[in-house]
Structure 1
């Protein structure tokens, strides 16, 4: 990819590389990776959890999305299964689901993103024993909890950030080639 960017900015055997174009190409080549890194950091444990005196638990994501569960009656740990390259199932992540009967949307947390004392304090305050569900695929999890939103890194795996990086890189290469032609 770097070689393509250098060629688009005018690098060749016979002519020297223009410094300004080279710096712009390197900065713009790092931009897609920076965008994916920032989105990932914003999604990782960037959730505020509030528990009211009446037992209501509220989750507020960094996007402002609020999920409220009135008087939770189940706290479950779900192991999500993925497939390795040879097709073998493996646990790709665990999810902690806080739900109540009659509530359309549960609170879904990724326990690995939280310090254990914080999670212990939360589950103790809810006063509901933690259960462990059988391992299931993301599709089975979505069917069980239709209103739940999985973190985008689990919904799309690595394909989504890879697609973002490739699309932005292709656009930048075209943009740099157009600037070079002017």
Structure 2
């Protein structure tokens, strides 16, 4: 796992120690400027253009992935998106660690993928980052929150406004805050 963090492991963030290196912070500033000027205003069908920009900054994104212009991606080099994966409008991809969106997985509008937290036991309140994986065919519904280290298993569903801090089971459906298992996802027979 890539973790560009830990400039502050020995420092004290309350005294101005940075959590990330200067190079990392400058790259994020350049990325934010690039996205604002070249992508944030683009029409919905220009997914390939946005994929191109993400790749320039180190993202591993399949050409068929859908990324909408209102998406916020904190650090492109920590993003992997497989074929036909989708980050819908207004998704906040706060990827302080790796975020991997699997094939045909959907993260719906206004959802948040948050790859970081803080050690509340540490007097220095150090940042902790963990990867997030949304596996093949999974659906994170509108306005859901996925916390650090969570694996949303293949074909599982996190319901609208769900808050998930634990891994899901394959084909499981979860709702609520905190999200709880409610049933197994069943697929219709297609003729």
User: What is the TM-score with the length of structure 1 in the denominator?
Assistant: 0.21
Structure showing greater Rg: 1
- Structure with the bigger percentage of strand: 2
User: What is the TM-score with the length of structure 2 in the denominator?
Assistant: 0.21
Structure scoring higher RCO (CA < 8 A, sep ≥ 6) equals: 1
